[in-house]
Amino acid sequence: MNSSQIEMNGNSKPKRKIFLWSLKPEWITRLLQIMMEYVNTNMRSAQGFKDSVYQGAAQKMKEKFGIEVTGEQCKNQIRHQRSVWSHIQELKQKSGVSWDETKKMIVMDQEEYASHIQAFPKDAAYLNIAITNYVELEIVFGLGHATGEWAKSGNFETPLGTQQIDVGDDEPSQFTDIGADGSMPTEWSDMQVMEDSTATTKKSLPSSGIGGGIKRKSKASGIDQDIRECICLMVDSVTEVANTIKSSTTSPKQIRNMYTELMFELTNIPGFSEEEVDTIYDNLSKNPTLIPSFLSKPTDSKARWMRKELGN
């Protein structure tokens, strides 16, 4: 077994290998940089990264450091880093703090800082100190915080926050990019809208252009018609996929992955013994409907829930 791997073994449970990312912080930095490269080459979809991307990341980690790490372990670490990113965003929204963009640092006055760190010691890594890997985290996870700036590394030619529509590998795309702000090409003049006098509703412009408005095209061009037809097909396809997902049951592989992620998260929350981790794991296993909610919580919220569950 590689020294970076340990095996967790509970009563009547199969052994679970856990990769110890905390042994060397540069492992996490490099993994985030690899995922950032994938973002910059447009390999992140609206649903996130495919399993093949994580497998590729694992191979690159092996080539760089000579370590044995799996795609699933890379995926779990990225999920953990996503919770780190979410927690950083929560801290940035706290009243009384400011953000130093140059230093990538959340600034809090010393009196409040001392009180906060006493209650939440782990937040020392994010307050009044440059946040490790902030740029990488922002690019990999900042889907909801994109500013439209061009990616700063790689050969990616699409601004962050711009979603490209993929209509398949066999045919060239007939779509232009739709920006994060929802803007569309100006050539779509037959889809123009105008504000009414109350500035609260929108309505279509009349085709005659009466009242000084921009005149509507007398006849839509062939390309515009094709675009509208493709949009209708895309909407139908997305609806079909959504309905399929909604009606499908959770696969055994998804269940295994959920429990693997649960153990990974539990073992990475400081302040709990192995016995306490096993107790929480067993309790959640008996009520698996709670697991998704638990995994979605920030690390501090997870810790508070665990202490409450243990009666501490």
- DSSP states of 156-200: --S-TTPBPPP--SSS---PPPB-TT----TT-GGG-EEE-TTSS
Say if residue 152 is in the same domain as residue 299: no
pLDDT tens digits along 101-140 = 999 999 999 999 999 999 999 999 999 999 999 999 999 9
Would residue 190 count as lying in a domain?
no
Would residue 66 count as lying in a domain?
yes
Say if residue 22 is in the same domain as residue 150: yes
Beta partners for residue 163, in sequence order:
178
pLDDT for residue 30:
95
Count of beta carbons in the 10 Å neighbourhood of residue 61: 22
pLDDT for residue 48:
85
Distance CA 158, CA 41 (A): 9
H or E element that contains 288: none
pLDDT band at 65 (very low <50, low <70, confident <90, very high): very high
Q: Does pLDDT of 253 surpass 50?
A: yes
Which structural domain, as residue segments, surrounds residue 13?
Answer: 5-93+134-162
pLDDT band at 184 (very low <50, low <70, confident <90, very high): very low
Instruction: Indicate the SS3 state at residue 20.
Output: coil
Of 180 and 61, the structure prediction assigns the larger pLDDT to 61
Say if residue 37 is in the same domain as residue 156: yes
Say if residue 15 is in the same domain as residue 139: yes
HEC assignment per residue over 94-145? CCCCEEECCCCEEECCHHHHHHHHHHCHHHHHCECCCCCCHHHHHHHHHHHH
Distance CA 60, CA 10 (A): 32
Of 152 and 118, the structure prediction assigns the larger pLDDT to 118
H or E element that contains 18: strand 16-19
pLDDT band at 297 (very low <50, low <70, confident <90, very high): confident
Say if residue 294 is in the same domain as residue 150: no
80 contact partners, CB below 8 Å, separation of at least 6: 264, 265, 268
* Amino acid occupying residue 9: N
- Count of structural domains within the chain: 2
Whether 160 and 151 have beta carbons less than 8 Å apart is answered as: yes
Say if residue 30 is in the same domain as residue 151: yes
pLDDT band at 246 (very low <50, low <70, confident <90, very high): low
Would residue 232 count as lying in a domain?
no
Say if residue 9 is in the same domain as residue 154: yes
